[in-house]
Structure 1
Amino acid sequence: MTTSVKPTTREARRLQTRSRILGAATAEFKRCGMAGADIGAIVAAAGVAHGTFFFHFPTKEHVVLELESREEARIAAELARFLETPRDIATTLAKTTELVISVEGRLGNLLFKDVLALHFSPSRPQGEAWTDHPVIVALVKEIDRARQDGETHPDVDPFCSAVFFLLSVYGVLSTTPGQAACTTMLRELVATAVRSLEAR
């Protein structure tokens, strides 16, 4: 029998402080973007000292990385629930796109663009493995399932297909101005991805 270890009072306070800072930073980043965010406004809203921000988040980018990580986990969980009922690969790719787009609704346009920009930034911390990204893991698993079921071409590489698809979605969202144009591009992207995967 395993017993859960309760955090110490000090650890619980540390986590509460971190959560307050993250909430205040998220609100500030939503309002004026990462570059324009004022650390002074964040620490005032969180009720902490200036140095406490940097203890928890060495840079503004670290805030965005944490938000990205949380959103990835959320998307992966929603995708897993969606896939509890068997779906074809076209429906799965369309749902994945919809879930990525939903992040903008939660974070707002400015912060969403910051998340996408940091995703492609050369200053992003190195050493991440693809298995550190639950959305990629979920999509690789589903494409592999489709390949084994004969829904896609037998030579399809699930990992490359998943990564290329997600990078394309992020690319469209980063570079296509206007909601109508973006929606059209994403719809065509899903159709193109399905054609590249399907059994011949």
Structure 2
Amino acid sequence: MALVGRPSLRQTRRLQTRERLLGAAIAEFKRSGLAAADVGAIVSAAGVAHGTFFFHFRTKEHVLLELERREEERIAKQLTRFARSPRDLESILHESVRLVMGLERRLGALLFKDFLALHFSQTRPPAEAVDHHPVVVAVAQEIEHARTLGTVDPDADPMNCAVFFLLGLYALLTTTHEWPGQAAMLDEYLARTLRSICAE
């Protein structure tokens, strides 16, 4: 008797092929950047036919979206775990910045920049709703928690505040990459964000 919900051999192979393509694409993006990445090199490294790439990912940007989804889920879990201990909103936003910046070590400078720039790209595939972005949701939950404690302005919308904070952070990290004053700018950005949403 077959187990209910168990993937078929074909589905398992398809998932394995997708994972090989994703890994090969990420390696190529790290080397060349998204724009210069060669789909031929990706399929060659994955050991599949050229058309197989487009069966799994419509464009190179779709690969980056998949990577974004996975990395956001990982960051959101780490942030939620961090927030389980009593923390003020300032330390939670600091941790958000630290976790996002940690991606550069994981992804490399070229891919990190492409990862951030995707949020502002005109060629980005149609986005899902904001609440499908786990980092936004995790930050919004912490802002809501601070609002219930009375430390955030009761009129502040937690989801909007989280979106403003993270988009501003991504824009700063994209445009000030390797600037000597980046750390000071990030500190000021964080301080101004807190002042804008905290209760008087």
Query: Which bracket does the TM-score occupy, shorter chain normalised?
Result: over 0.9
How far apart, in 1, do the equivalents of 2:99 and 2:77 lie?
Answer: 10
The answer to which of 17-26 and 35-44 deviates more is: 35-44
Other structure's SS at 2:154 match: coil
Distance (whole Å) between structure 1 residues aligned to residue 127 and residue 42 of structure 2: 29
The alpha carbon displacement at 1:49 in A equals: 0.7
* Map of 2:36 onto structure 1: 36
- In structure 1, the residue matched to 2:9 is 9
CA RMSD of the aligned region, Å? 1.4
User: Where in structure 2 are the equivalents of 1:124-163 lying within 5 Å?
Assistant: 124-163=124-163
The aligned amino acid for 1:75 is I
Aligned to 1:91: 91
Number of aligned residue pairs: 198
In the alignment, what sits opposite 2:27? 27
User: For the residues of structure 1 that align with 2:121 and 2:127, how far apart are their CA atoms?
Assistant: 14
Gap regions ≥5 residues in structure 2? none
Taking the aligned partners of 2:84 and 2:4, their CA distance within structure 1 comes to 29
Q: 2: CA distance between counterparts of 1:44 and 1:125?
A: 25
CA distance in 1 between counterparts of 2:97 and 2:122 reads 24
**Relative to 1, partners in 2 of residues 1:30 and 1:5: Cα closer, same or farther, differing over 3 Å?**
same
Aligned-pair identity in percent equals 57
The answer to whether the aligner puts 1:195 opposite 2:171 as a matched pair is no
Structure 1 CA distance for aligned equivalents of residues 147 and 93 of structure 2: 14
Q: Relative to 1, partners in 2 of residues 1:84 and 1:4: Cα closer, same or farther, differing over 3 Å?
A: farther
Q: Return the letter of the residue paired with 1:19.
A: E
Shift of 1:5: 1.9
Map 1:39-188 onto structure 2 (within 5 A). Answer: 39-188=39-188
Q: SS of the counterpart of 1:19? A: helix
Q: Provide structure 1 residue ranges, at least 5 long, that are not aligned to the other structure.
A: none
CA contact (8 A) 2:33 2:110 kept: yes
Measure how far apart 1:32 and its partner are. 0.8
Q: 1:136 is aligned with what amino acid?
A: V
Question: What is the one-letter code of the residue matched to 1:8?
Answer: S
Whole-angstrom distance in 2 between the partners of 1:16 and 1:55: 14
